[in-house]
């Protein structure tokens, strides 16, 4: 198999997932800023025009970063990054979705409606972006209250795909840019721990 | 365990999932339109103020409809609704996310920004809602092209949680209301099949 990928929040999720599994697979670099995913031949690979794309040896493709991660988890279960047992897996699913929809989601809307890069995707609404900045701050406050129980990771005591979704949010925060407020002590402690992991990417300055 | 639930797109996902598994568990009805999830004592159960909530016998709770479904899948694997094998599970994950983010997502934004019911959640932007209506129509067109290969279900030849997410979208379409265009033959065929399933809820007229 080979991975078509570039530097983006969703691309990072697969890159970090592979690094945390200790896996290396061939990567075909995709020039996202140059618009490569929105042109042929990439569109034939993924008509949705997005990375990451995992191309399997039988020629079929998987898209959606979490689906690609779940495929890798199925082939290489250790260390488990989607939780263990019915309840453990459900808790990771719950936190992965919470991070994705409630924290990353608002910030992603900010980027979609503020970045010149996304202008070609359709109309941008500055007032909506401002409201989503406010939703993002509220979500960070909620997350900080939840994580103030002393847990080390988003879903509990073990690093999981929910932390990886959080790392994608941190990458997006780097790009927007927004700085996580110092008073969110639990979230800031988690942010430092995530950025100290060997799987955290080296970012262009 | 018991399920706190009410009639809503996310509530429907768990209701249909249980019905498709042939399971019955105690349900505590929640008056969503009456604002019950946003008041105590519900907020102590789920500070996010949303259904569905699965309360386990040990007192812990699971939220997020897909996390609840995944927990049930872990306890009662047959029939499998999250796919089988590494690739099968990844394909279901991919399609569940595509339906959720690309089809249900825009329609959900329309509801959030048009329904008087959601006014208290924060500002509503009519121009953004209009743009998301257009995104929704485009997504349905894309889904129709994808499903024109003759498959019976969203993720292939077997009914899965991706169809259930599609059924949640159909419920939301009923409420908005929007009618799926007749020219989307593959999507319309799938819609008829979903609404003919015994698990499809009886809706208040």
Q: Which of A47, A66, A98 sits opposite B93 (nearest CB)?
A: A66
Q: What is the pLDDT of residues B82-103, one digit of tens each?
A: 999 999 999 999 999 999 999 9
Yes or no, beta carbons of A87 and B71 under 8 Å apart? yes
What is the arithmetic mean of pLDDT over A9-31? Answer: 98
- Contact residues, chain B, for A21 at CB < 8 Å: none
Asked, as a colleague might, if the bond just before A177 is cis with ω within 30 of 0, I would say yes
Mean pLDDT to the nearest integer, A161-179: 97
Give the Å distances, CA to CA, from A128 to A98, A131, A132, B131. 21, 5, 6, 12
Residues of A in contact with B63 (CB under 8 A): 94
- Whether residue A4 contacts residue A42, with contact meaning beta carbons closer than 8 Å, is answered with yes
Query: Which residue of B lies nearest to A58 if distances are taken between CA atoms?
Result: B87
B168 and B69 in one domain?
no
Cross-chain Cβ contact B93/A70 below 8 Å: yes
pLDDT value at position A47? 93
CB contact under 8 A, A86 and B74: yes
- Looking at residues A186-203, what average pLDDT do you find? 96
Name the residue range of residue B100's domain: 85-195
Average pLDDT taken over every residue of chain A:
97
Query: pLDDT over 90 for what percent of chain A?
Result: 98
Q: How confident is the model at residue B203 (pLDDT cuts 50, 70, 90)?
A: confident
Using the predicted structure, report yes or no on whether residue B205 has a pLDDT greater than 80: no
Q: Minimal CA–CA distance to B163: which of B180, B181, B187?
A: B187
- Tens of pLDDT, residues B24-81: 999 999 999 999 999 999 999 999 999 999 999 999 999 999 999 999 999 999 999 9
Cα–Cα distance for residue pair B63/A41, rounded to 1 Å:
41
Chain B CB contacts of A139 under 8 Å are none
Task: Check which CATH number belongs to the domain holding B143 and give it.
Answer: 1.20.1050.10
Is there a single domain that holds both residue B101 and residue B152? yes
Residue B154 has pLDDT above 80, yes or no: yes
Match 């790392």 to its residue by tokens. Answer: A167
Residue indicated by tokens 């290969």: B149
Same domain membership, residue A147 and residue A65:
no
Across chain B, mean pLDDT equals 97
Nearest in space to B66 (alpha carbons), one of A100, A12, A138, A11: A100
pLDDT at B201 over 80: yes
Last residue of a domain, one of B17, B50, B75: B75
Is the per-residue pLDDT at A205 higher than 80?
A: no
Residue B204 — very low, low, confident or very high, per pLDDT cuts 50/70/90?
A: confident
Rounded Cα distance, B51 and A160, in Å: 25
Q: What share of chain B is helix, strand, coil (3-state, %, to 5)?
A: 55, 5, 35
Nearest to B94 among A62, A123, A135 (CB): A62
Picking from B22, B57, B75, the residue at the C-terminal end of a domain is: B75
Cα angle A158, B17, B29; round to 5: 95
The minimal CB distance from B123 to the residues A87, A89, A131 is found for A131
Shortest distance between the Cα of A205 and any Cα of chain B, in A, equals 31
Residue B153 in domain: yes
Does A67 contact B at CB distance below 8 Å? yes
**Residues B122 and B189 both lie in one domain:** yes
Chain B residues 73-92 with CB within 8 Å of chain A:
73-75, 85-87, 89-91
Residues of B with CB below 8 A from A98's CB? 64
Does residue B169 form part of some domain? Answer: yes
Number of structural domains in chain B:
2
Spatial CB neighbours of B47, under 8 Å, sequence gap ≥ 6 = A142
Q: What pTM value is reported for the model?
A: 0.97
**CA-closest candidate to residue A161, choices A110, A89, A58:** A89
CATH of the domain at B42: 3.40.30.10
One domain for residues A69 and A100: no
Q: What pLDDT shows up at residue B190?
A: 98
pLDDT digits (tens, 9 = 90+) for A55-79: 999 999 999 999 999 999 999 999 9
């Amino acid at each position: 198999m080979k991975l078509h990928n570039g530097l983006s929040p969703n691309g990072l999720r697969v890159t970090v997932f592979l690094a945390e599994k200790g896996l290396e697979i061939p990567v075909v670099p995709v020039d996202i800023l140059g618009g490569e995913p929105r042109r042929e031949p990439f569109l034939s690979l993924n008509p949705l025009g997005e990375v990451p794309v995992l191309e399997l040896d039988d020629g079929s493709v998987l898209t959606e970063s979490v689906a690609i991660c779940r495929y890798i988890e199925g082939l290489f279960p250790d260390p488990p990054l989607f939780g263990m047992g019915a309840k453990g897996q459900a808790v990771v699913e719950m936190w992965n979705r919470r991070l994705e929809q409630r924290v990353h989601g608002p910030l992603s809307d900010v980027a979609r409606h503020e970045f010149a890069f996304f202008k070609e995707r359709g109309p941008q609404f500055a007032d909506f972006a401002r409201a989503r900045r406010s939703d993002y701050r509220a979500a960070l406050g909620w997350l900080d209250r939840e994580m103030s129980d002393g847990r080390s990771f988003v879903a509990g005591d073990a690093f999981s795909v929910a932390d990886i979704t959080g790392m994608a949010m941190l990458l997006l925060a780097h790009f927007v840019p927004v700085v996580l407020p110092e008073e969110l002590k639990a979230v800031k402690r988690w942010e430092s721990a995530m950025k100290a992991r060997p799987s955290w990417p080296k970012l262009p300055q």
